Structure 1
């Protein structure tokens, strides 16, 4: 206590408070959530997947387990090993079970992905074999029971000894076998000999990256081809001339090939418009609707050397018979290159003797074989006359029956005309119905038209729009009578060919199966 001016003075402590506002600035968005005081909470349940359970089957052994020998009980269930997979609940009726885990033979450990809850205790081994040698391998050589094999038909399945992983490998058309990053080798389709190595590096020749696989669990499958003798009556030819395996190569070195590609684009015809197709020298240009019906060729013209199509003015969307088309329309242009085959490989690759004039897409370009006959020309031959034509038993032989006629046709000065475009292989008869009129008859077609000696006889071939032949009016002499007949034969400018089509037995893989033949010709 202090004394001031003779009077005592007492100091008293006093506390004061001051309210100081504070402000905090946020750089982003502040989210405020609130709930009422009376909110109730419902119980929440979360499911957590149980971890894999690993069981040491043989803790006191260092030898690997023999595949397929392990049977043990645990948690009231019996577990059986089948090719590295653990099954339980095996049915005595179907021998099927539920896959619940895997087995590592080398480490002698079983791994369960699915197991009963709240189970414990030791397992009860009912059966288990171990091996002290020959368990795994890194190389495999064997021969299939039969040969030859169908190319690319071999499949092989192995089980890794280190991870128990099942790995599958397949063969390609060249006989190379690969799969899973560890299977490398070859198969000889002719002999059925298979050579395999198991490593992570296909170039490893010393085994640094070798992966052991369980030899007892190697399985494979392949298609063995066999040939069956066929009846000559059924084939229509002697099967001795066919290869032993029944397969006939369609391409050989020196054969003529036609490499072709068809491009498609949607078009909307406009009267008088000219459309450039992007490439030139097409073999064919055509337009069809969505149902495949062709557009009337009179509605457009094409320049195949320049690759142009010009629509008619006006243009009508109709087929050749005048029927309506179903839009949209598709324009197809096909380019072709005829060349000689110089090499044929088992992979299906072929070599050609001249370069392609276009850059064609590999996935859409096709190769067709061509049968060549050399120079061919239509002809009219075996001309003779008969006094009487028997309607009930016509003479389609190449020799006359009965006497000839006095009247003749002057073939020396007015020879019949026949062209390659219109001629067919057929036998014809001009059967007179009067002194000047006759019917034109073909052996297979019957009466196709009538004619007379005062005008040229030129029956039209509907397939080409050109005459089958032309008999000129100047060549007819006089003296013809009803019942007389003129017989002759014609040949087309086509070579003879037999087509034998073989469809392999088995499950169908396509909805439609068809064969197309195209007749080609070049004129000097």
Structure 2
């Protein structure tokens, strides 16, 4: 019996092919056999128990038209110029299995297999400058061709067909490479294209292609990052853009690389493939400088950089990296109310009102570990404009290891978290070191000689100041760096003087000495009244000591020279200073 195939195997091999459809219908005769057109098929059977169906190959023999393809050389000796043509051949001794839900598939050998034919339609390349000696190049926007009776127009290296002269609409069908003279036509059927007619065009000779190009801008110096160079390579435009360090880079770094000197305007670059020198052009922004009088400017202008930018960070500087997130907390607030934070792991928080005024920190307690804020009891927010906002801050300090001209900073330590670009700033920091309030040991002298000295000048007094049992009390929010003098006007009346502040307190020895610092409403220092002892003081006696506060003197110098304000000028320029520390105020 002829070899048989399983219907399940045949249906899995169904593929779409351009062959003539053939259909064969078989039906069960009820006795385990198969009928075709009313006649029993020899060798065909149905196993009702297992469901297996066996069909001989003879039941599916039909004639099919099969396409065969050959390759044709368009020009002798040029293997890259080829086309594909085809014809149909009729095959009769093949087995065809064609379920009604699929297109035709065929089996032409005892083994079941799938056959695919893949070929390209119309990718045709012609050299319109062949036989023209090198160096040569096609001049763009000058060529007209005829292919298959249709005109093809070239514009900027693109080939268009079916041009509508009224609307300018056309269909792009290929490209022209000016440097090589190659015309590429796409999506053209092989049997439709046998030749291309050149109806018109201009070519040039004498221009060499180069891979390295050097030049000089018309003016200099140049504004950094403003230089851009353009060149044509293999029919496409490549663009090299200048970076902050003067390097030239293209989107594909292998296409173009080079450098530009912003001071002199000299540039040079190399390309991956040859380019036409005449295709190179550039754009740049030059800078000019107006000489300024050092007397009027108030600073020696020769020390200013050419581009006007002054570096504010240097290697070794401490910086603070921070990001702020604003959380709206509304207008209804009550004592003891707990407000959860909208972000976790905050390093610092503050509350501001609708006008940006900071709410005094003694009105709430922030719990950074548990991500919440609690209003104190009692609560009075009458001096603030509602609604209020929470400012949740992520920040950390670091040290700069390296800086470069592009503005990039290399930090010494890895950052502890990801910072979003929006609302993230890096700020310079002045390190104060360990700051602690303290006072020197007081000393007494019988009379004041008008000289501020840190040692006794004369004899000690009969009265003794007991600071061992009743020490001078200092707080970081009141104490300052100052030399103090307590002078007796009588055995009980005293006055307190500061070297720089003058008279700050006038009272008697029966009251704690606590002159108020008007900047913080806290005492500069507090000397308990018990320290004066049982007496022995006389008019003219004085007590001398020095105090040192936690305040660190920092100069802020922000200079804007007189100038004419531009219309619609943005007045948002400014800066903020923040005092940071890792200890509580004592």
Does the CA contact (< 8 Å) of 1:422 and 1:468 recur in 2? Answer: yes
Hey, what does 1:273 align to over in structure 2?
A: 337
In 2 relative to 1, CA 462–261 (structure 1 residues): closer, same or farther, beyond 3 Å? farther
Which of 1 and 2 has greater Rg?
2
Structure 2: distance between partners of 1:195 and 1:501:
41
Equivalent position SS for 1:221: coil
Aligned residue among 465, 468, 475 for 2:524: 468
CA distance in 2, matches of 1:282, 1:159: 52
Gap regions ≥5 residues in structure 1: 1-105, 107-130, 198-203
Matches within 5 A, 1:23-172: 139-142=213-216, 151-152=224-225, 154-155=226-227, 171-172=242-243
TM-score (norm 2): 0.50
Query: In 2 relative to 1, CA 227–386 (structure 1 residues): closer, same or farther, beyond 3 Å?
Result: farther
Deviations 1:11-41 (A, max 9, x none): xxxxxxxxxxxxxxxxxxxxxxxxxxxxxxx
Q: What's the counterpart of residue 128 of structure 2?
A: none
Name whichever structure is richer in strand by fraction: 2
- Trace 1:149-298 onto structure 2 (pairs within 5 A): 151-152=224-225, 154-155=226-227, 171-176=242-247, 186-189=259-262, 192-195=265-268, 204-207=271-274, 212-213=278-279, 220-223=284-287, 249-268=311-330, 269-271=332-334, 272-298=336-362
Q: Residue in 2 aligned with 1:317?
A: 381
Check conservation: 1:137, 1:214, Cα contact below 8 A: no
Quote how far apart the aligned CAs of 1:362 are: 1.7
| Aligned partner of 2:479 among 409, 412, 423 | 423
- TM-aligned CA deviation for residue 303 of structure 1: 0.9
Kept after mapping to 2: 8 A contact 1:460/1:467:
yes
Distance 1:450 1:146, change over 3 A: farther
Q: How many residues align?
A: 374
CA RMSD of aligned residues (A): 5.2
Q: Which residue matches 2:368?
A: 304
Corresponding residue to 1:517 among 577, 580, 586: 577
Q: Indicate the larger mover: 473-482 or 221-230.
A: 221-230
In 1, Cα distance between equivalents of 2:558 and 2:355? 28
- Change in Cα spacing, 1:300 to 1:447, as seen in structure 2 (3 Å) is same
> Equivalent residue of 2:440, what SS?
strand
* Closer/same/farther in 2, CA of residues 309 and 497 from structure 1, 3 Å limit: closer
Q: Structure 1 CA distance, aligned partners of 2:398 and 2:462?
A: 55
Q: Who is 1:380 aligned against?
A: 439
For residues 280 and 301 of structure 2, what CA distance do their matches in structure 1 show?
47
Q: CA deviation at 1:367?
A: 1.2
> Displacement of 1:186 after TM fit?
3.7
Separation in structure 2 between the aligned mates of residue 346 and residue 249 of structure 1, nearest angstrom: 9
Uncovered stretches (5+) of structure 2, i.e. residues with no partner: 1-177, 179-203
**Aligned ranges 1:398-477 → 2 under 5 Å:** 405-411=461-467, 414-461=470-517, 463=519, 466-477=522-533
TM-score under structure 1 normalisation? 0.55
Q: Residues of 2 paired with 1:327 and 1:470: CA distance?
A: 39
Q: Which has the higher contact order (CA 8 A, sep 6+)?
A: 1
| Cα distance in 2 for residues equivalent to 1:179 and 1:353 | 32
Report what 1:354 is aligned to: 413
Alpha-carbon distance, 1:330 to partner: 1.8
Give the 3-state SS of the residue equivalent to 1:294 in structure 2: coil
Rounded Cα–Cα distance in structure 1 between residues aligned with 2:511 and 2:492: 10
Distance in 2 between the 1:188 and 1:435 partners? Answer: 81
